[in-house]
Amino acid sequence: MQSSAKKLTLCSSPNIAFIKYWGKKESTCDEDRNIGLNPSLSMTLSKAQTKVTLEASQNFEFFIQDKIASPKDQEKISAHIKRIEEYLQKKLSPFKLSSSNNFPTGTGIASSASAFSALTCAFISWMEGNDFLQKALQEKTQDLANLARRGSGSACRSLHGPFVEWNDRSITLHKSNWKLYDTILIFSKTEKKVSSTDGHKFATLSPLFKERLTKVHDRIEKVKKAISEKNLQLLGPTIEEEALEMHEIMRNNPHPVEYQTEECKKFLKEIQKISSRDFYFTLDAGPNVHLISEKPIAHLVKMLLEKSSTHAEIWEDEVGSPLSSC
């Protein structure tokens, strides 16, 4: 992180959920926004990043990917500024905000998580300085998680790493030096047709949703055990089951949504044919496949793409800590 009186730059990475936040509690006030109906657990990435720069200005100005933010995004950012002002009990002095991702946005790499994690930290640091922010991340962990969560639920898991569990209004950090890689196959860069916010609402309407809630607890325990034992053979099948179930809930729904493209489905079929694997897939709300492994596998992935006659851009990422230097 770099900062001076006039300018501050800060980066945060997305996270990939091993156990998904998909379906949220109803809320009647901002404090209750974006609370999952079940606990979730994710791995924070490191190479994909949202970079936020704040520079002193006469007025608040917001730019995303070098363009003036849309009215909808302006509204979301303004609401977040208000949350931070309420928390710090002071008005933020005006700034020009520039936010940019170094990875494709809205395609299944969770850009809202890294964006609202970065914004939360940047706004706090803008007013109180980096030392205050670093201390708050350690000593006011839950306060900051709840602020980020109100911007976008999954953002509370991007404030820390390497593995973060989120349950209702609190997060638990799972420290580990397990080196995991996430090789992301970008089958489509088209923005998804149904936003996550709508997807969350639809999820609870699926006839499969109630049963899912009975299974999540066991799965999360398996994932925690796998992390503590560095046991990929336990982690892998659990996260695959979880990802496939989430996509089934999306399809089997009064508002059916198919996030997977034909190429994505074809590729998934191809890898499921492999009898013993040392890499496992998970999916976000999009057509892109995240392959989790203990070593880099881009060379193998290229061969598998050829074998299944599918095409995808490859993004090689790995487990990381949050707020890494930009």
The two tokens of residue 156 are 């509370």
Q: Which of 17, 235, 250, 323 binds ligand 2P0 (CB under 6 A)?
A: 17
157: left (phi over 0), alpha (psi -120 to 50) or beta: alpha
129: left (phi over 0), alpha (psi -120 to 50) or beta: left
87 or 116, CB closer to ligand 2P0?
Answer: 116
For ligand 2P0, which stretch binds (CB under 6 A), given 122-130, 147-155, 220-228, 293-301? 147-155
Strand order in the sheet with 50-56: 2-3, 7-12, 50-56, 95-101, 61-64, 67-68
How buried is residue 261: exposed, middle or buried, by Cβ count under 10 Å (0-12/13-18/19+)? middle
Q: Which among 12, 50, 114, 52 has a CA at the least distance from the CA of 324?
A: 12
148 or 305, CB closer to ligand 2P0?
Answer: 148
Binding flag, residue 40, ligand 2P0 (CB under 6 A): yes
Binding flag, residue 287, ligand 2P0 (CB under 6 A): no
93 or 170, CB closer to ligand 2P0?
Answer: 170
Whole-number minimum distance, CB 36 to ligand 2P0, in Å? 8
Using an 8 Å Cβ cutoff, are 259 and 286 in contact? yes
9 or 183, CB closer to ligand 2P0?
Answer: 183
Binding flag, residue 22, ligand 2P0 (CB under 6 A): yes
Q: Which residues pair with 293 in a beta bridge?
A: 181, 279
Binding flag, residue 107, ligand 2P0 (CB under 6 A): no
Number of residues that bind ligand 2P0 (CB under 6 A): 17
Residues 45-104 that bind ligand 2P0 (CB under 6 A): none
Number of helices (H), then strands (E), belonging to the chain: the values are 9, 14
Q: What is the DSSP string of 148-165?
A: HHHH-GGGGGTSS-SEEE
Tell me the residue ranges of DSSP E strands in 137-276. 163-167, 170-174, 181-186
List phi, psi (to 5°) of 224.
-65, -40
Task: Please give the residue whose beta carbon sits closest to ligand 2P0 in the complex.
Answer: 153
| Dist. CA 142–CA 23, nearest whole Å | 21
Q: Which residues pair with 50 in a beta bridge?
A: 12, 101
95 or 315, CB closer to ligand 2P0?
Answer: 315
21 or 103, CB closer to ligand 2P0?
Answer: 21
The dihedral sign for the CA sequence 194, 253, 285, 53: positive
Whole-number minimum distance, CB 275 to ligand 2P0, in Å? 28
246 or 305, CB closer to ligand 2P0?
Answer: 246
Whole-number minimum distance, CB 142 to ligand 2P0, in Å? 17
For ligand 2P0, which stretch binds (CB under 6 A), given 66-74, 95-103, 105-113, 305-313? 105-113
Q: Which of 34, 53, 188, 260 binds ligand 2P0 (CB under 6 A)?
A: 34
Whole-number minimum distance, CB 113 to ligand 2P0, in Å? 6
Residues 197-216 that bind ligand 2P0 (CB under 6 A): 197, 200
**Which spans of this chain sit near ligand 2P0 (rule: CB under 6 A)?**
17, 20-22, 34, 40, 110, 112-113, 152-154, 196-197, 200, 284-285
